[in-house]
Amino acid sequence: MKILVVGGGGREHALVWRLKQSPSEPEVICAPGNAGIAREVPCFDVAATDLESLAELARKQKVDLTVVGPEAPLCAGIVDLFQARGLKIFGPSKAAALLEGDKAFAKEIMSRHSIPTAGHRTFSELNAALIWARETVDYPLVVKAAGLAAGKGVVICRNPEEAEEAIRSMMEDQAFGSAGQRIVIEDFLVGEEASIIALTDGKTILVMESSQDHKRAFDGDEGPNTGGMGAYSPAPVVTEKLQSQIEREVLVPIVHALKHEGRPFSGVLYAGLMMTQKGPRVLEFNVRFGDPECEALMMRLRGDLAQALALCAEGRLDEADLSWSEEPAVTVVVAQEGYPGAVGSGRPIWGLDEVEESDDLRIFHAATRRQGSDWIASGGRVLAVTALGTDLAGARDKAYAAIDRLRFPGSFCRRDIGHRALGR
Ligand code: AMP
Ligand code: GLY
C-alpha cells in the first residue's frame, strides 16, 4: 500500500513515522512535509491547500490512500474532490468538516442534540456583540472567532473592556481575516482540560487513549493561547468512568447527529473537553488529529495504523485492531520567540544530529528546512520532542534532556509540561 500524508508539521512527522512502522509495511510519501520528514520519506513540494495538485500527485504516484493532517484542506473539501476522482482518502467530507470550520455551527448542532457544552451566543454584527458584552455581568467570558484561526482565535475576557477589545480585533480589525466575521461568545468553564481523539467511519467509533494539551504559551498556563505547547498521554484526569461518559454523551451523539443532519462523518473526531464539576463539557470539536497530542499518541500506538486508516476510509473500521503501550508519552514543543505572534526566520538549530533518537525518543520536526548541512527554523512551532518513559516524570525528563542538548538561540519551550498529572 502506498500512502500520501498531507501536511508539514510535527503531527504529520509523527504520522509518517508511525505509518512507516505499520506491520503491513506501506510505502509512505508526504506533501509538502518539512526537512525532518524528508529525512524519512520522499516529500513533494505541493502545498496542503493546493487540492488540485494534491489529487494530481496522488494519481501520478499511484497512491492507494491519502491521509490528511491539517484542517484547512479538509474544510476546503479535499475528501470530496479525491472521492470524485476515485482516489481513496481518509478524512471527513467538507460538509462534515464544518464541525471544526465553523464554531457557530458546532455550537448549534450540539444544542440541537443536547451534547454538553458551554452556553453561548453567536454574533455577526459588531454593535450587537459590543452591546451584549457591555451589558452582561457574567465575566469572565470567552470570545471566539467562528472560523479557522489555527487555535489562536480564542480570547478569555475578564471584564467588558477586554471583551470589547477582543470583539473589535476580530470583527473590526479582522485579526483572523474572514474567520472573525462571525463570533461566538460563550460562558467560561472551570476545570481541567483533556483531548479525546477517536477514529470513526460513521458506524464504529474507535476511541484512542486520552491526552492533554498545554494551550497557553508560557509556564503556569500564562500568556496567549497557542496551537499547543506540549502534550502527554494518557491524561489521568480522564478516569475510565469519565471516558465512557464522554463516549456516551459526546462521541456517539455527535456522530449520530451529523449523520441525521446529512453530514455523515468519517475520519478523526477530536473532542476538546473541560472536565467541570458538573461533568465533561465540549470546548471544541476538531476533525483531525490534535497537534501536539498526535505526537504523544503516535509514540504509544501499537498495531497497524496504515491498515486501520485504510479500513476506516472503506467504512470497515470494525475490523481494525489498535493497541497502546502502557508507558506514558510526553511531547514538548520548542517554538521560536514571538510565537504565537510573528517570528523571525532563518534561525539555525545546532545539535540536532547529536541527539540519539530511538523508539523511546523522537524529535518530530514541525517547521524546519535545510540550508546546506544546517537545520534552519522555518515557523513558530519548530520541534516536538517526544519521549516514552516508565512513568510520566521519566518521559518528561527524557524529553527535556534531549532539548537541553540542542543549541537553538531565540527559541523557548514550556518547562512544566505534564504539571497537572504530576501534581496529582
Ligand atoms: P478552543 O479552540 O475553542 O478549544 O479554545 C482554545 C482554548 O481556550 C481551550 O483549549 C481552553 O483552554 C480555552 N477555552 C475555550 N473555551 C473555553 C470556555 N468556554 N471556558 C474556559 N476556557 C475555554
Ligand atoms: N492541540 C490542539 C489542536 O490541535 O487543536
Give the pLDDT score at 224: 87
Residue-level pLDDT at 137: 80
- pLDDT single digits (tens) 26-37: 999 999 999 999
| CATH number of the domain bearing residue 334 | 3.90.600.10
Choose one of 290, 324, 358: the last residue of a domain: 324
Residue type at 60? K
Please check whether residues 210 and 306 belong to one and the same domain: yes
pLDDT score for 136: 86
Tell me which residue range forms the domain holding 347: 329-423
Identify the CATH number of the domain in which residue 279 sits: 3.30.470.20
What residue ranges in 182-297 does DSSP mark as E strands? 183-187, 192-200, 205-207, 212-213, 216-218, 222-225, 230-233, 267-276, 279-286
Q: What percent of the chain lies above the pLDDT cut of 70?
A: 100
Are residues 149 and 250 located together in one domain of the fold? no
Cα 320 to Cα 318: distance, rounded to the nearest angstrom: 6
**160-167 contacts: CB < 8 A, separation 24 or more?**
160/133, 160/134, 160/136, 163/133, 163/139, 164/130, 164/133, 164/134, 167/123, 167/126, 167/129, 167/130, 167/133, 167/143
Local confidence band at 17 (pLDDT 50, 70, 90 cut-offs): very high
Global pTM? 0.96
7 shares its domain with 88: yes
More confident of the two residues 423 and 152:
423
Instruction: Answer yes or no: is pLDDT of 265 > 90.
Output: yes
* CA-proximal residue: ligand 2, atom 3 (nearest): 290
pLDDT digits (tens, 9 = 90+) for 195-234: 999 999 999 999 999 999 999 999 999 998 899 999 999 9
Q: Residue of the nearest CA to atom 4 in ligand 2?
A: 290
Ligand 1 center–CA 411 separation, angstroms:
26
Is the CB of residue 290 below 6 angstroms from any atom belonging to ligand 2?
yes
Measure the N-to-C terminal CA separation of the chain; round to a whole number of Å: 44
Pair 321, 382: CB distance under 8 Å: no
Which amino acid type is present at position 141?
L
Q: What is the Cα–Cα distance from 257 to 45, expressed in whole angstroms?
A: 38
Q: Are residues 288 and 336 in the same domain?
A: no
Q: Give the ligand at the shortest distance from the Cα of 148.
A: 1
Residue 151 has pLDDT above 80, yes or no: no
User: Among the listed ranges 52-61, 136-145, 378-387, which one has the minimum average pLDDT value?
Assistant: 136-145
pLDDT digits (tens, 9 = 90+) for 280-338: 999 999 999 999 999 999 999 999 999 999 999 999 999 999 999 999 999 999 999 99
Nearest Cα residue to 213 out of 199, 198, 233, 186: 233
Q: What is the number of domains present in the chain? A: 4
Q: What would the grid cell of residue 68 be?
A: 490528511
With beta carbons less than 8 A apart as the criterion, state whether 13 and 364 touch.
yes
Here the CATH number for the domain that contains residue 60 is: 3.40.50.20
Is there a domain that residue 133 lies in?
Answer: yes
Q: Domain end: 165, 187, 209, which one?
A: 187
| C-alpha of residue 332 to centroid of ligand 2, in Å | 14
Taking the centre of ligand 2 as the mean of its atom positions, its distance from the CA of residue 226, in whole angstroms, is: 9
Residues with CB under 6 A from ligand 1: 118, 142, 144, 151, 154, 156, 186-189, 193, 215, 225, 272, 283-284
Look at residues 270, 293, 324 and tell me which one is the last residue of a structural domain: 324
* pLDDT computed for residue 39 by the predictor: 96
C-alpha of residue 373 to centroid of ligand 2, in Å = 32
Read off the CATH number of the domain in which 176 is found.
3.30.1490.20
Give a yes or no: residue 100 inside a domain: no
Out of 105, 122, 139, 142, give the residue to mutate to test ligand 1, the one with the largest number of ligand atoms within 8 Å of its CB: 142
pLDDT tens for 101-119 read 999 999 999 999 999 999 9
**Domain check: are 199 and 319 in the same one?**
yes
Question: Which residues, 6 or more positions from 401, have their beta carbon under 8 angstroms from its beta carbon?
Answer: none
Cβ–ligand 2 contact at 213 (below 6 Å):
yes
Q: Assess whether 392 and 318 both reside in one domain.
A: no
pLDDT (0 to 100) of residue 255:
98
| Residues across the chain | 424
Q: Quick check: 247 pLDDT over 90?
A: yes
What mean pLDDT value characterizes the chain? Answer: 96
Closest Cα to atom 15 of ligand 1? 283
Cα 128 to middle of ligand 2, angstroms: 30
For range 115-137, the mean pLDDT:
93
Q: Which atom of ligand 1 lies closest to the CA of 281?
A: 19
Residue 193 Cβ contacting ligand 2 at under 6 Å? no
pLDDT tens sequence across 373-421: 999 999 999 999 999 999 999 999 999 999 999 999 999 999 999 999 9
Pocket of ligand 2 contains residue 209 by CB under 6 Å: no
Atom number in ligand 1 closest to CA 213: 10
Residue 102 lies in a domain: no
- From the CB of 32, is ligand 2 less than 6 Å away? no
Q: Supply the pLDDT for residue 161.
A: 94
Does residue 103 sit within a domain?
no
Which ligand has the shortest distance to the CA of 295?
2
For 97, 101, 189, 254, the CA distances from 105, given in Å and listed in that order, are 11, 8, 20, 12
Q: Which ligand is nearest to the CA of 212?
A: 2
Least confident of 104-108, 167-171, 177-181, 293-297: 177-181
Give the confidence band of 180 by pLDDT, cuts at 50, 70, 90: confident
Q: Is the CB of 280 under 6 A from ligand 2?
A: no
Q: Check whether 38 has a pLDDT greater than 90.
A: yes
Residue 105 lies in a domain: no
276 and 206 within one domain: yes
What is the rounded CA–CA span in Å between residue 330 and residue 385?
8
Ligand 2, atom 2: closest residue by C-alpha: 290
Report the alpha-carbon distance of residue 61 to residue 293 in Å, rounded.
30
More confidently predicted of 234 and 181: 234
Instruction: Classify residue 303: in a domain, yes or no.
Output: yes
Determine the residue of 210, 293, 333 to mutate for testing ligand 2's pocket, defined as the one with the most ligand atoms within 8 A of the Cβ atom.
293
**Rounded to the nearest whole angstrom, what is the distance from the C-alpha of residue 245 to the centroid of ligand 2?**
22
Residue 400 lies in a domain: yes
pLDDT reading at 63 higher than 90: yes
CA distance 222 to 370: 33
293 touches ligand 2 (CB under 6 Å): yes
Averaged over 181-195, what is the pLDDT?
A: 95
Average pLDDT over residues 343-365: 93
Does residue 113 sit within a domain? no
Residue 153, pLDDT > 90, answer: no
pLDDT surpassing 80 at residue 152: no
Q: Are 225 and 151 in contact (CB under 8 A)?
A: yes
